[in-house]
Structure formats: C-alpha cells, structure tokens
Amino acid sequence: MLPAVDFELEALRSRVAALEQLLEVHEATALAQTVRLENIVNSITDGFIVLDRSWRIIYFNKVAEQTFLQMSKKTADLLGRSVWREFPDLVGTEVFDRYHKALESQQPETFEFSYVQIGSWFEIHVYPSSDGLSLYFQDITARKKAEQERDQLLRTEKAARLELEIKSEEVRKLNAELEQRVQRRTAELENAMKELESFSYSVSHDLRAPLRTIEGFSHALLEFYASQLNEKAREYLGRIAAAANHMAQLIDSLLQLSRVSRSDLMFEQVNLSEIVIDIVKILKETSVDRRVQTKVRLNVHAAGDKKLLYIALQNLVSNAWKFTSRKDDAVIEFGLTEKANALACFVRDNGAGFDMAFASKLFRAFQRLHHEKEFQGTGIGLATAQKIIQRHGGTIWAEAAEDKGATFYFTLKDLQIKHEPALYFAS
C-alpha cells in the first residue's frame, strides 16, 4: 500500500467520521427543532392543518386531531389522504370554495363556517403558499350561541318594545277618545246646567209675576172697595191672597232647593251655634206671641259652606219652632252628641213629632206628614236641609214619636266643640 494513499484514506475516514458526527449533531438539532416546532404548534389553542397543493393532509396538530375525533374520524388514517375524499360533505360548501380561492389567488381567507353535521361553528383562517395551504381554525360555537342568544334577546326585546309602542298608541288613542268624550259630556252638562239656570230664572221671575197680580188686586179690592163687598166676599178675597202667598213661598223654596243643589261649596270653619242663636233670635222677633225655651250648646264648629249650613239650620230650627206652636211649654234644643261612634249635631223639640213609620218619606220634596190646616209649610224645607248635609258629605236622620217631639241628627266634617268647657246659651 502506498503510504500516501493510506494517508489519504485515513484523512477521508476521519473526515467522514467528523462529518458523521456533524450530521448527528445536525440531526439532533433538527430533531430538537422539529420537536420544539411541534410543541409550539400543539401549544396553540387553534386547530392547525397543513394541506399540499393536491389537497392531501400532511399535518394536523392536537386541537385539530380532537376536532377530527369529534367527527368520528380515525386520525391515524388521515395523513396523506385527500381532504375532500375524507370529508366529502365539505365539497361544494364555503370551505371548498374558499380553499380553492386562496390557493389560486395566493391571498389569505378568513371566514366563519357552520359545520351542520356536528353542530359546530368554526372561524377559519386560510394562509396559502406555493406548497399548499395552512389552516387555522377555532371552535366558536359557544360564542355563536351566545351571539344567537343575544340576537334572540334583542329580537324579543324589539318585539316587546314594538308591542309596547302599539299598546301605548292604543292607550293614547283611548285617552284622546276619553278626553273627547269628557269634553262632550262636560259641554252637554254645561248646556243642561244653563238650561236649568234659565229655567230657574223663568220660575223666579215669570211665575211670581202673575202671583203679584192676584195678590195685589185681591188686596186692592179689599183696600179700595171694601164697602161694596160683604163679609163672604172679603173672606174669599183673603183666601185668594193667602193662596197666592203660599204659592210664592213654594216657588221660593223650590228655587232654594235647586240653588243649594248647584251652587259651589266654599269651605270654612263655621260656628253652628252662632247660626242657631241668630235664627232663634229672628224667630223670637217675628213671633212675639210665642213662648219658647231654647237651649243652645255653644261653640259647636264644623267645616262647611256657611251660607248653605245657615239654610239647613234655618229649615231645621224653623221646623222645630213650627211644630211646637201648639205647646205651652215649648222647648227647642241644639247640641252635639255621640251617635253610632260618631259625633252628630242635633235639633230637638218637644212638639208634634211624627210616626216613625213615615220617617222614610220625611226628606222627600212635597211630602208632608201633617195637614196644611195643622201646620203650614211647603214640604221642601227638609229636602233642602238633606241636600245641603249630603253635599257636605254628611248624613241626616230623625228620631221621633207622635206628640212626643222630634230630634233631627246630622253629621258634618270636623264636628267639634271649640274652647272647652262649653257652655249653654239659654233664652
């Protein structure tokens, strides 16, 4: 052997060994790098699949593998196989179109895809290269469901809002209709009130006018032609005049009743006792021949319309005055007492009274429990008093017995005795 050749050979051997060593190192490095790469690829949460230009699956990571398992695919068989052959249901879908488009145009594609067969949604990013396609995908089913739920909620809310608007519109319409109806009714009512007022006016003016004529000329005859009339004629003329006067009283009472029904109430603190004392004073002045003992509880106050309460008390006290006219020891009392757990005012007399069997007729207009010959009256006074008390939110009732007097009770708001100790006013 030539030493030079040997040397050469030796040198080559060692070179080969060195190269082998280097290769080993490189291989180890390459392996390490592959492992590292694979680790990286597997560590991402996206699914990752690589296809070559002939649509063969050449790589998929763990996440992708799990997705394949979900689709009941045997992952061991997949590598090297055509994706369209393994997943024929994807042919012709958006996935199919987009992959082709990306590969042809070499432009990345991003899209969402509903894989109906497994009931999942995916967001897919497609990155083309000259070698094929890299696919990243993410299961977005949960997000999609949330989105759908949100959309559903929004739709429901929108529908509800729409319904609300419709209902509001209906309510608005109803309100407008109601408003119109109220206005119409108010106008009608105002009209009716006006008619009633002009009716009252006619009653007040026109019905009284002929009465004045009847009364006046009866008197004129009695006054200026008395000597030409005999006693009977004079008596008849007296009757004519008395009837005319009675009718005038009736008209006035009716007018009063109609006025207390329609006048506005002006509420204030009213001292009822003072009113009663005033009424008693006037009655005593106008019928000096009567001897009546009166007893008035002082400082009985109530909330009400003074003018109307005066009229009510006037009717009650005048009644007591009238129905005691046949008594020598007439007593009229005004006071405050407790009735059925509530305070009530009363006007009491020891006069003619009445049979309680007729009590229900007492407050009706024109109902009289006594004959005109016994006690004169219009039969409207108590109806007026009741109307006034009722308009104040109170009630009025009576307790009586024939020939044993009557007591009229009534309630009002804020009935009370002011300035205790209360005394009596006697006259």
Partner 1 sequence: MNQPCILLVEDNPDHEELALLALKQNNIANDVVVARNGVEALDYLFGRGQHAGRDVRIVPAVVLLDLKLPKIDGLEVLQEIRSNKLTELLPVVVLTSSDEETDVVRSYELHANSYIRKPVKFQDFVSATRQLGLYWLVLNEAPPQGRTGNEQAIAHS
Q: Which of 40, 220, 401, 423 binds partner 1 (CB under 8 A)?
A: 220
Q: Residue written as tokens 């109530």? A: 302
* Residue 265 contacts partner 1 per CB under 8 A: no
Q: Which is nearer to partner 1, 67 or 218 (CB)?
A: 218
Identify which of residues 127 and 217 has a Cβ nearer to partner 1 in the complex: 217
240 contributes a contact to partner 1 by CB under 8 A: no
Consecutive H or E run containing 16: helix 3-43
CB 296 within 8 A of CB 422: no
Give the range of 16-24, 27-35, 66-74, 215-223 binding partner 1 by CB under 8 A: 215-223
Please tell me whether residue 282 binds partner 1 under the rule CB under 8 A: no
Among the listed residues 56, 62, 73, 219, the single contact to partner 1 using CB under 8 A: 219
Residue in 59, 96, 127, 217 binding partner 1, rule: CB under 8 A = 217
Using CB under 8 A, pick the residue from 248, 359, 365, 422 that binds partner 1.
Answer: 248
CB of 132 within 8 A of CB of 103? Answer: yes
At closest approach, how far in Å is the CB of 180 from partner 1?
A: 31
Q: Which stretch binds partner 1 (CB under 8 A): 117-125, 137-145, 212-220, 345-353?
A: 212-220
Please report which residue ranges of 263-379 form alpha helices under DSSP H.
272-286, 306-323
306 belongs to the binding site for partner 1 (CB under 8 A): no
* Of the candidates 43, 45, 24, the residue with the CA atom closest to the CA atom of residue 35: 43
- Tell whether residue 245 is a contact of partner 1 (CB under 8 A): yes
Q: Does the protein bind partner 1 through residue 205 (CB under 8 A)?
A: yes
Tell me if 200 contacts partner 1 by CB under 8 A.
Answer: yes
148, 152, 213, 293: residue in contact with partner 1 (rule CB under 8 A): 213
Task: Put residue 271 in one of left, alpha, beta given phi > 0 → left and psi -120 to 50 → alpha.
Answer: beta
Which region among 58-66, 164-172, 237-245, 407-415 touches partner 1 (by CB under 8 A)? Answer: 237-245
Q: Which is nearer to partner 1, 39 or 228 (CB)?
A: 228
| Nearest to partner 1 of 72, 227 (CB atom) | 227
C-alpha–C-alpha distance, residues 365 and 133, integer Å = 107
> Rule CB under 8 A: is residue 108 a binding residue for partner 1?
no
Whether the link from the prior residue into 108 is cis, omega within 30° of 0, is no
The size of the interface with partner 1 (CB under 8 A), counted in residues, is: 23
CB 88 within 8 A of CB 101: no
* Cα(264)–Cα(253) distance, integer angstroms: 19
Shortest CA distance to 48 belongs to which of 128, 118, 134, 107? 134
Contact indicator for 409, 344 with CB cutoff of 8 Å: yes
| Tokens describing residue 351 | 């006069």
Helix then strand count (H, E) for the chain reads 10, 14
Task: For residue 81, give the 3-state DSSP assignment.
Answer: coil
Q: Return residues touching partner 1 (CB under 8 A).
A: 200-201, 204-206, 208-213, 215-220, 223-224, 241, 244-245, 248
